[in-house]
Amino acid sequence: MNKASSKGRLACVGIGITLGSHISPLARSHIQQADVVFAGVSDGIVELWLSEMHPDVRSLQPFYGEGKSRLKTYREMVEAILSEVRAGKRVCAVFYGHPGIFASAPHKAIEQARAEGYDAHMEPGISSEDCLYADLGIDPGARGCQHYEATQFMRYRRVVDPSAWLILWQIGLAGDRSKKRFATGASYRQVLVDVLARDYPSHHEVIIYQAATLPIQSPRIERIALSALPQANVGMPDTLVVPPSHPLQPDADTRVRLAALDIGTNEV
């Protein structure tokens, strides 16, 4: 059978962060019309909620294991999803938040499905970043935002602009290179603090943030000094938000050039 003409297809959809509040009508439609649904979501409560929409919801959580490389876990997830697509089924893979943000398996599954000739696409969802802007009252257009995964930020030289917001994701895993752990300790966060100290004073106020996953919850918004981060209670879902510490620096030369263009425009 020609793979391209088979009925197998894949939709990777995001259901947002807060249970039941963020799912879009299109994501719900993909779930309900699928032959099989895979769930890579935050907890068992969300899986039960999905089971109310579809009778065949298969959890991806069992692929995780203590001491097991997450890279191997993601490969196994992709293979489980693709095996049903190859069997000619309409498959919906559901992920919390946005399926394309800090989620390897959806990207790999779509890439592999398309390489094999199947229809595959991603349906966006409300991400932790979206919740962060709303909960903290940040307009990224006002001062600008820099986003980095915490470990990558630590391992590579990045040019930090302290006049903009700095967002570091997965600080609970800061410094992990093994891809096998689900948390690192205070000594690793101290290294992160030392890296940040190149651009920010130790007393600079930072925010530990975690979006609410249930409607009855409130987001975690904890303000502490940067120097206190190693001793803070930090988990894998937590994000570090570093507010600007310097004012925006005017670019005099560019302003002169733009002013000259404005004058020329007014004369036309």
For the annotated catalytic residues, the residue numbers are: 70, 74, 96
Residue 47: CB atoms within 10 Å: 19
Residue 156: CB atoms within 10 Å: 8
* Residue 110 near residue 79, CB atoms below 8 Å: no
Which residues have CB under 8 Å from 52's CB, separation 6+?
none
Residue of 85, 107, 79, 77 lying closest to 36 (CA atoms): 85
Instruction: Compute CA distances 77 → 87, 147, 205, whole Å.
Output: 16, 27, 39
Strand (E) or helix (H) holding 113:
helix 104-115
